[in-house]
Chain A
Amino acid sequence: MLFTSEHEQFRTVLRQLVEEEINPYADEWEAARIFPAHELFPKFGAVGALGLCYPGEFGGGDADQSYMAVFAEELGRADCGGVPMALAVQAFMATPALARFGSDALKQEFLAPAITGEHVCSVAVSEPGAGSDVAGIRTRARRDGDDWVISGRKMWITNGTQADWICLLARTSDEGGYQGMSLIVVPTASAGFSVGRRIEKMGNHSSDTAELVFDDVRVPVRNTIGEIGHGFQMQMNQFQDERLVMALMSVSGARRAIDRTKEYLRMREAFGQPLIANQYLQYTLAEFVAEVEILHGYLHHAIERYVEGQDVTRDATMAKLKAGRLVRQVADTCVQFHGGMGYAEEMWVARYLRDSRLGSIGAGADEVMLRVISMMEGMGQR
């Protein structure tokens, strides 16, 4: 992919922001199990990072998706997984459908403050009884005049305890299956909304992941994004950005992890020489370098196709699958090559292993990616 000098200048800005505004606080935020989203997001909003590909009239950058790649690659280099994920949710997971299909009034009210970072937002699809199987969701929005009255529960919601509004997928008719769902913007200040609990997770500790409760929450029907009943399709569309961003973050994170492991092996001596002199260790890392670079190239190709306006469902699905699997291997190997230090909390590696495990689960599990690819290959049915 052709990155211009402007891409590189913006990359430098993002790298500096990650190094100055995230990394020095990562330990503190991981321990606290939360980070101050309302303090951090405006800093990313000020440089335009939260609305890169959104329309200028709502404060966005009017950029193409090549800038999404720059964003994901730089955020993937942070010292923890939770905070970059939270920023990615704000910039590329909770907002694409609103930007593409929402009314101007809705964009003015909710997208514009999300782009500046003044509002924190979440996307809510998974439920206690349905995650990857989106057709199984049960959260219901009943129509009462000009309002929706929403009841149900949502699970695994990133930014869940701090969000000002939620991009919610709910059933708005009895059609069942993939039919009759809508995406609705729900302000968290609405009566009947509550945070059920903050979920303790294996990794991404700095991110506040929550279960959300909707108990007859009343929001205007005009808060519906795009057409009523087309929510599933819009969410699937929104998932493409989410999967590409996750894959790109994973790949750049893996590259950094390999580099840091190389440095450690250079420094650490065993049996009278630096560990890096051991050919087994060299070849193992060399193979990972090859896999990471090939996947990175594939992702850049996908981004180019996206910029050209082509459907990248297939590319995003495959890349997300392979990135999720690859970082698990890379992280496990990095821990192994650090020996005892890899198992200690004082090094970065243990956190990396925990955080990267999400790559195969979030934004659709590996098995869902395989299911999608199987269907595209004519081997399965919905």
Chain B
Amino acid sequence: MKIAVCVKQVPDTWAEKRLRESDRRLDRESADGVLNELDEYAVEEALRLVEAHGGEVTIVSMGPERAAESVRKALSMGADAAIHVSDDGLAGSDALATSLVLARALDGRDFDVVIFGSESTDARMSVVPAMVAERLGWAMLTFAQKVDVDGTTVAIERAGDGETVSVRASMPVVLSVVEKINEPRYPSFKGIMAAKKKPVESLDIASLGLDAAAVGASGAWSEVADFAARPAKAAGTVVTDEGDGGAQVASYLVEQKLI
């Protein structure tokens, strides 16, 4: 089974993130870049699937030069090879452009399964997996909390609000997985050393045969028109309990129409 896992480098989840005044884009220098935490579940699931069924795992990432560190981390977890699409002309790409680039990088390589994390912790749109599936014309199984492979059939479980949905599709399929699905492994010392020697194929807009106008800022269908810093937290209401604290809290909640 040939599995591709699409990963993204994002600003450290716990860091204070900023937008740049000049182009209203994320200031990538303001925080360390890390492998999107939710993508680690996708890498782990791919590794578990090939451990159970055989095959190989290829990491696919679109991002600037320094995203190579995150690609390397995914390789150190145990993936076999990687494709890194990097090009100055990709800066400013929106979800549509990203899906175009990823679909082009994935197409024609005989992947049976492509796995994504459920979202990236920076943009948080969750739409790229579906867009990639649409562009490739493959089945799409999203938000999986459990994946089973039987021959060429992939079955997933997705948690709904009040029920669990089971969905099945034939390969090739695009999956996205949620945090509940597994516990990602830590990269091991041997994994880190081995990752140094694993092949990473570098691609850019030209080698993918893409129209430069269709990607990057020029190809974006949406743009950030304006932004404002989050207002400082207003002081809360302090209730001093003089025997009637419960009643005061209750009337506050009634005022707020919460009860």
Question: Which residues on A are within 8 Å of B, measured CB to CB?
Answer: 6, 9-10, 13, 16-17, 46-49, 52, 61, 63, 67
B72 at interface by CB-CB < 8 Å? yes
A5 to B189, alpha carbons, bound, how many Å?
Answer: 12
B192 at interface by CB-CB < 8 Å? yes
Q: Can you add 11 more A-B contacts, CB < 8 Å, to A9-B72, A46-B185?
A: A9-B73, A10-B189, A13-B186, A13-B187, A13-B189, A13-B192, A16-B186, A46-B186, A47-B189, A52-B189, A61-B193
Q: How many A-B residue pairs have CB under 8 A?
A: 35
B53 at interface by CB-CB < 8 Å? no
A67 to B193, alpha carbons, bound, how many Å?
Answer: 12
How many Å from the CB of A4 to the closest CB on chain B?
9
Q: A6-B196, A9-B192 are in contact. Are A47 and B76 (CB under 8 A)?
A: no
How many Å from the CB of A372 to the closest CB on chain B?
32
**In the complex, what residues of B have CB within 8 A of residue A47's CB?**
186-189
A9 to B186, alpha carbons, bound, how many Å?
Answer: 11
**In the complex, what residues of B have CB within 8 A of residue A9's CB?**
72-73, 76, 187, 192
**In the complex, what residues of A have CB within 8 A of residue B192's CB?**
6, 9-10, 13
A63 to B76, alpha carbons, bound, how many Å?
Answer: 16
A46 to B185, alpha carbons, bound, how many Å?
Answer: 9
B190 at interface by CB-CB < 8 Å? yes
**In the complex, what residues of B have CB within 8 A of residue A46's CB?**
185-186, 188
**B189-213 CB contacts (< 8 Å) to partner A:** 189-190, 192-193, 196
Question: Are A48 and B190 neighbours in the complex by a CB distance under 8 Å?
Answer: yes
The 5 closest A-B pairs by CB, nearest first: A48-B189, A47-B188, A61-B189, A48-B188, A9-B192
Question: Are A67 and B189 neighbours in the complex by a CB distance under 8 Å?
Answer: yes
Question: Are B196 and A61 neighbours in the complex by a CB distance under 8 Å?
Answer: no
**In the complex, what residues of A have CB within 8 A of residue B187's CB?**
9-10, 13, 47
Question: Are A61 and B186 neighbours in the complex by a CB distance under 8 Å?
Answer: no
Question: Are B190 and A61 neighbours in the complex by a CB distance under 8 Å?
Answer: yes
A63 to B189, alpha carbons, bound, how many Å?
Answer: 9
A10 to B196, alpha carbons, bound, how many Å?
Answer: 13
**In the complex, what residues of A have CB within 8 A of residue B189's CB?**
10, 13, 47-49, 52, 61, 63, 67
**In the complex, what residues of B have CB within 8 A of residue A17's CB?**
186
A46 to B187, alpha carbons, bound, how many Å?
Answer: 9
Closest residue on chain B to residue A70 by CB atoms: B189
**In the complex, what residues of A have CB within 8 A of residue B196's CB?**
6
Can you pick out 26 interface pairs between chain A and chain B where the beta carbons lie within 8 Å of each other? A9-B72, A9-B73, A9-B76, A9-B187, A10-B187, A10-B189, A10-B192, A13-B186, A13-B187, A13-B188, A13-B192, A17-B186, A46-B185, A46-B188, A47-B186, A47-B187, A47-B188, A48-B188, A48-B189, A48-B190, A49-B189, A52-B189, A61-B189, A61-B190, A61-B193, A67-B189
